[in-house]
Amino acid sequence: MEIKELIDKLESERPLKWEELPDFMIYKDQLIALMGKQHIGLSEIENLTSAMVNNYTKSGILPRAEGKKYGKSHIAYLTMACLLKQILQVDEVSVLMNSYIDEDVESTYNGYLETLDKEFKETVESIDIDSDEKRHDLAMRLAVSSYTQKLICQKLIKDMDK
């Protein structure tokens, strides 16, 4: 994927809104297939597997399936977990999600989507791929920024876990 194509996706592609999520229960293989469409690059970076879904359930990130089927809440939880797992360890994702998600999963998921949209827009606006800034300088700036934000995030999560 070219950088321009990625930026275009960051500007336009988002996970399904709550009201767009399936109103019916789905099987694990359907859930996994849906996750590949929920986040940009997820299928390219890390393929979600059945074992990972089981591990997310065991670690308390994802509620247990109802029978062998998953509903809107499961999709919302897993959508958030798949993005967070790209940055954080499973135990950190568990602490963060358990403190972030309240009884109203719909409102929590909508808040997550708002945050995602805001951060994507801010990041894209901070990048001018046609500027004189060399790509290696841009990549270094983004990497250092990501590292700094990760350190602060991990400290906040550690404090939440006390």
* Sign of the torsion angle spanned by Cα atoms 25, 23, 15, 81: negative
120-155: string of b/e by CB count within 10 Å (b at 16+)? Answer: beeeeeeeeeeeeeeeeebeeeeeeeeeeeeeeeee
Give this prediction's pTM.
0.88
What is the chain's pLDDT, residue by residue, as a tens digit (162 residues)?
688 888 888 888 899 999 999 999 999 999 998 988 888 765 555 678 899 999 999 998 999 999 999 999 999 999 999 999 989 999 999 999 988 887 789 999 999 999 999 999 999 888 887 777 688 888 899 999 999 999 999 999 999 987
Contacts of 10 (CB under 8 A, 6+ apart): 40, 120, 123, 124
Each domain of the chain, given as residue ranges in start order, spans 3-160
